[in-house]
Homo-oligomer: A and B are copies of this chain.
């Protein structure tokens, strides 16, 4: 890799459209794919997905929780999936929502943004310990041309109780996160420090114009946002925003997965 994560992501979105395919082997998804709830069922699901996943998508985002569920065997399947996706040239985001400080944060940076077996293009992270505590992840991303997506304003209603608390300077917590991430991206055309912004937050559009990095937008499909919403919410930053769909695509099972990806991708492209 010689280009920054932000640049690579924008190129892929320009080529393939904004669809990010979430790989969420939840209980219901394993059922839809005819697999049992076990490490073996998970491994067979992953092989089935890999056998049909098309190459022409902007990004693929496995959700760590569904692999951790099956302990070391599940983790081994995740390593196999990440390796296969990397070898096929996919841009891979691990949705792990990690957070820690000091040497523990360095441990996560080594795990996902270094050269180890679980190496990915970008990882999601949580800023409750302060965006500054994630510095080891941000530094590894800059050094190794990777990215970090930091939770900013999420689509789940419980998030309001923390993210919308507004301090004496008039800035809600999410705004502080957004501003700090913008500082990390300063001096770049398109930075590699991204934000997670829920696609159901229709009042956020104007607030994104100044964001100088990538955006990962969950909330499409099962959570309520549609392809038609994409340009309304992310108009000013559509060139750098991933629209993530997970269960909406996977719940179709192996017979409908590829068509669901193609249809959703086409809708997103024609909307934007």
Is A201 engaged at the interface, CB distance under 8 Å to the other chain?
A: no
Could you say which interface size class chain A belongs to?
Answer: 35 or more
Which residue of the partner chain, among B132, B156, B173, B247, contacts A173 with CB atoms under 8 Å?
A: B173
Segment at the interface with B among A5-13, A85-93, A104-112, A141-149: A104-112
Is A118 engaged at the interface, CB distance under 8 Å to the other chain?
A: yes
Is A216 engaged at the interface, CB distance under 8 Å to the other chain?
A: no
Nearest chain B residue, comparing its CB with the CB of A37: B110
* Cα distance A110–B127 in the bound complex, in angstroms: 24
Which residue of the partner chain, among B27, B128, B160, contacts A163 with CB atoms under 8 Å?
A: B128
Q: A63-B107, A69-B116, A108-B68 are in contact. Are A130 and B97 (CB under 8 A)?
A: no
Is A126 engaged at the interface, CB distance under 8 Å to the other chain?
A: yes
Interface residues of A in 109-128 (CB under 8 A from B): 110-112, 116-118, 126-128
* Set of chain B residues within 8 Å of A95, measured between Cβ atoms: 104
**A165–B165 CB distance below 8 A:** yes
* Cα distance A114–B68 in the bound complex, in angstroms: 12
* Cα distance A105–B165 in the bound complex, in angstroms: 23
**A101–B156 CB distance below 8 A:** yes
Is A103 engaged at the interface, CB distance under 8 Å to the other chain?
A: yes
* Cα distance A69–B133 in the bound complex, in angstroms: 18
* Set of chain B residues within 8 Å of A157, measured between Cβ atoms: 130, 132
**B162–A127 CB distance below 8 A:** yes
**A69–B110 CB distance below 8 A:** yes
**A70–B116 CB distance below 8 A:** yes
- List A residues at the B interface (Cβ < 8 Å): 24, 26-28, 63, 65-66, 68-73, 75-76, 78-79, 95, 97-108, 110-112, 116-118, 126-133, 151, 154, 156-163, 165-168, 173, 176-177, 180, 247
